[in-house]
Structure 1
């Protein structure tokens, strides 16, 4: 199981992720796209990196808006795995 990060580690790592916020024990980003199809194309691009990492985000879609939430459920909070996947997701357009 992955080790939970400390509050200081979370703050430091979150500062390096523009657009991401820490909400309790979750790391979240909201993205807005021109339309539904573009939003779904973005979500589809998340599949490969999530599968490769063996770490899967929670995803909410509302027309052209996508909210991606990361947390390490089996650890009960944020771990390095969440921030590593967030870095990858941040590079996806």
Structure 2
């Protein structure tokens, strides 16, 4: 079962996720893609990983700019599930 990370643990995790920031009970990253279809392709790829891990980010789509928000809602904050998903999003965004 996922446990909430302490503030210190979140800060430590974010040192390895330089494009992410904490926003209250979530970690957030914005990605800008070259085109709208490229943005939707990334959303589709993130959706596949999220579904397979049964942990889903909130995704805001604004033309070719995506904002990913990871929070473990049933825990009310940030857990290792969010850090793992953020790392996966980084890998996909870099690819």
TM-score range, shorter chain: over 0.9
Structure 1 residue ranges, 4+ long, deviating more than 6 angstroms after superposition? none
Q: Could you tell me how far apart the structure 1 residues matched to 2:52 and 2:21 are?
A: 24
1:3-60 deviation line (CA, Å, top 9, x unaligned): 1100000000011002111111111110001111111111011111101111000000
Matches within 5 A, 1:1-93: 1-92=1-92, 93=95
Cα RMSD of the aligned pairs, angstroms, is 0.9
The number of residues matched between the two structures is 93
TM value normalised by structure 1: 0.96
TM value normalised by structure 2: 0.94
Q: Could you tell me how far apart the structure 2 residues matched to 1:18 and 1:24 are?
A: 17
Q: Could you tell me how far apart the structure 2 residues matched to 1:30 and 1:38 are?
A: 14
Higher helix share: 2
* Stretches of structure 2 lacking an aligned partner (at least 5 in a row): none
